[in-house]
Each structure stands twice: as structure tokens, then as C-alpha cells.
Amino acid sequence: MGIFSQLPAHQDVKPALERAKNSECQAVLLTNGSRANTEKLVRDNGIEHLVDDIVSVEDFSIWKPQTELYRLAALKYSCAPANALLVAAHAWDVHGAIQAGFHGIWIQRHESFYHPLMGNPDGQVTSLVDAVDLGVQRLQ
């Protein structure tokens, strides 16, 4: 488990977060991990100036993909779920967000298949930069 605290960010993370910042979108990381570990990963990868906040399941004692977690995270920022977008490489995470009323974009990284029983995400892409670009278009 210690290796999770040392993971390097994918190469497209920094440029994608820069694009989000330039489009005046808030970049909030929603994690099933601990806040401390996620803060360390952000800091170690030099992207702390691009991340507006981190929401951990520790904040609400609810795990993803339970819809209530996504709704509570949006409420924390006074954001209606319909105005929120979740981008994730896990189809179950995108599905949970969509069920909570969010927009959702799936990045095909580790999973090769987005099961049709989970409904349709707003987009399926292979890069985080493409996800941010598509997400900004969807939310305008």
C-alpha cells in the first residue's frame, strides 16, 4: 500500500489542470483515498497551484460510487450537480457521478470497456486534456 503514496502523475495531468484553470473551472479532486495521501501526491507532482481542493471520503464517511458523496461534494462548493463534471478512469466512478446528476467523462486508461448497463457518459476519451476540453464544452 505504501507505493500509492509515491505514484507519479500521468503526463497529461498537469496540462489538463492548466487548461481547467485557464477556463476558470475549479479543479477539485474527489478521492476514496485519504486527504493526506492525496495532498502528498499533489505536492510531490508539483501541481498544488492547479488544484483548488481535495475532497476525501473521510470528509463525509461515504465511499464512491455512492451518489450521496458526489452530491455532498457539489454542495460543499454551492454547485448544482447539473453544473458539475466528474472525469475518471474508472467507469464505476463516472457511473456514480452520473447517477448523482453530474456530467461524466470516462478516460480509457486501465479499463478497456465502459459497460452499456452503466448508461452513457458524456464522453469517452483517452487523454485527460481531451476530457477537460470536452467537459468545458459541455458545461458552457
Of 47 and 4, more confident: 47
Its pTM stands at 0.91
**Which among 103, 111, 101, 97 has a CA at the least distance from the CA of 134?**
103
Which domains occur in the chain, in start order?
2-139 (3.40.50.1000)
Instruction: Show the DSSP H helices in the chain as ranges.
Output: 13-22, 35-44, 67-76, 91-99, 128-139
Q: State pLDDT tens for residues 15-31.
A: 999 999 999 899 999 99
Question: What does the pLDDT average to over 48-64?
Answer: 96
**Which among 122, 56, 113, 58 has a CA at the least distance from the CA of 90?**
113
Q: State pLDDT tens for residues 114-128.
A: 988 898 999 999 999
